[in-house]
Amino acid sequence: MYRAVVQVTLKEGVLDPQGNAVRGALHHLGFHKVQEVKIGKIIEITLKADSKEEVEESAQKMCEKLLANPVIERYTILSVEELS
């Protein structure tokens, strides 16, 4: 059994209205040095596999087919670990 952790974020140049709203709220709370906020998502996937390489390949395919919108988002597989 393995766990893969995937990060999905907006590509450079894509407007991030949620990030802008959070930046504005932080400024309102006194955090005036904040220049930019980007909002993304972290996805944890637990799956049965025979190897770490199989998990990485599966996670990549999942991102390409469902977890990330390739037009506006990019993804990074942050980690793959074997569960005991």
For residue 71, the domain's CATH number is 3.30.1280.10
Residue-wise pLDDT tens for the chain (84 aa)?
A: 999 999 999 999 999 999 999 999 999 999 999 999 999 999 999 999 999 999 999 999 999 999 999 999 999 999 999 998
Strand partners, 49: none
- In the chain, how many domains are there? 1
Contacts within 8 Å (CB) and 24+ apart, 56-59:
56/4, 56/80, 58/4, 59/4, 59/6
* pTM to 2 decimal places: 0.86
Query: Domain of 58?
Result: 2-82
